[in-house]
Structure 1
Amino acid sequence: MVNFRLCLFTISSITLTFTLQPFHLLSDEAMIINVCDKTPDPSLCQTCLNSDPKSKTADVRGLAMISITCGTRDADKLYNDTYNLYTSTNDTALHNLLDNCWTRFIGARDGINGAGRVLRDQGSDATKLTITRNVIPMITFCSDLFKKNPEVAVPKYIIDETNVPFHVMSDEAMIINVCSKTPNPSLCQTCLHGDPKSATADVKGLATISITCGTRDADKLYTDTDNLYTNTKDPALHNLLDNCWWRFLGARDNIDSAGRMLSDKGSDAAKLAITRDAMPMITYCSDLFKKSPTVAVPKNITDEMNVVSTDCQIILGILSNF
């Protein structure tokens, strides 16, 4: 059984390639290799495309259509395998767990199949959106559900069909999926897209990039606050910031240390560096500013503080994928 989620990312990568090449370009084996090299699993991609004789004369749009056919076929098998198990198992816990997923798998199948019509009528960008917004969340939900219920004996073939190691999920679909689990997906995507390494990063790599963003934003918050603290002629503002400039410095250093924790000790230690050591520094000053409404704290300081707070939540959201 070809892994279904991997097919989704193959589809996404091919449709991305489709936007970069002229439609009239005919495909031979070299073109198929070139297109598939841009996908997470070139071997699976080539197996899919070579299974259809039309690939020998297809342009890139045609190759994308073939990949969608492969994805639809494999999603249909995943749905049938899951539904058959759901209706036949005598294991109540397994039955109840699969009750959350067989409908999602049929929805994913129909979503992939519909991507072919979207590609024909609306183009590749709309097709990628169909896959990333309407299909992948269906599979991710069940993959996460299986992981959260290790005591339920989900057969290995079902898990294998729904679960791909995160290290192969390195395209736009993965970034969208990871960021969807954070409180600010837009800011998360902006951060990750700001680093070229995100195009080939696994989830650990994406978490590291998010930590870099948080460290950068916290450094700006500290620098701006320290400059204001040093230069202001307002005694009340000076006294207020005297409680915070060094806390912002500490928050910056603790966010930065989360990267080392992630590398050396794992995600739990990195989360602790954020929740125990960094976030309380920001929360303290946020509460202090709210309790001192008569002190004119500049908006850029409060805005930067809110960004760092959101950065921390984004880091935690990405780390939750481990």
Structure 2
Amino acid sequence: MLLLSFGGPEGPEDVRPFLENVTRGRGVPPERLDDVAEHYLHFGGVSPLNQLNRDIIDRVRIELDRQGLDLPVYFGNRNWEPMVEDTVARMAADGVRRALVFATSAYGGYSACRQYDEDIERARNAVGERAPELVKLRQFFDHPLFVAANADAVRAALEEIPEERRASARVIYTAHSVPTAADAVAGPASEGGHRYSRQVAEAARLVSAELGATEYDVVWQSRSGPPQVPWLEPDVVDHIETLDPAEVPAVVVSPIGFVSDHLEILWDLDEEAREAAEERGIGFARAATAGADRRFAELVVELVREHVSDAPRRKLSELVSGGCTVNGAPCAVGCCERVGAHR
């Protein structure tokens, strides 16, 4: 199995090369990279993402052993070491001929899904004829273990809110924004589309139902690109600034759009969103991401079992759940196509 992720710098010297990898070919001005680099340097130039992925891999290996599955697990990234091209080359050298790929995104859309297909195709082309067949596992935004992990993370965050504010606290779910044009064409019309925003909203509904909550918000974060290009809104900071402290004395922000913490969560939520809440006198707590939950490794292995032992496909919604792509081929014609710059 290959765990495929976005990647992140692990020291100050990595920051600028990492950002250049992320934005290559997109015409991002150098001053914009300078601004983002400062965010990374605020945290010592280290993104927690690589280490958190290694932690997930360790737990997945334990779970595979527990279930009696002899499956080596490799780690590759799109934008920083270990690069996926190098990892697939190592797999080929180790004699791997076929592997399942777990991409660290629960959703559809270009950046969340199709771009990982492109990573797989690029890596196989770089390795050539020796490259193993690579089968990417499906999306899991409505898997019961993903929902349960996020629900428990919100419960734990609510405990951080002072008791006198807790009953009226508002749960705010957030995910990475994308251009509205990209969201509108994120899947074939014949299947209702793998609409990213619709899947995020469904995940938020499922988690809220698990919590017994009927009032909650779905917002977006970390948009980039020229201001004249419309992206999914409202932004999480803008949304918090509209809240009335008399009606919403506290918020719990759940980064449901992400599997693990990374710079955009640490900066956009733990710094900027928290500051916006505090300026309005609103209590703030941020829920953990699902990847840190022990059940996440069980989820990964369950997706593996769908392929190796015909395990039932568990879903809590009727929405289309794409995935199971082979060698980078999209799961449907026109699925999750790129529209302009997405990050």
Q: Which has the higher contact order (CA 8 A, sep 6+)?
A: 2
TM beyond 0.5 = no
Judging by fraction of residues, say which structure has more helix. Answer: 1
TM-score range, shorter chain: under 0.3
> Which has more radius of gyration?
1
**TM-score, scaled relative to structure 1:** 0.23
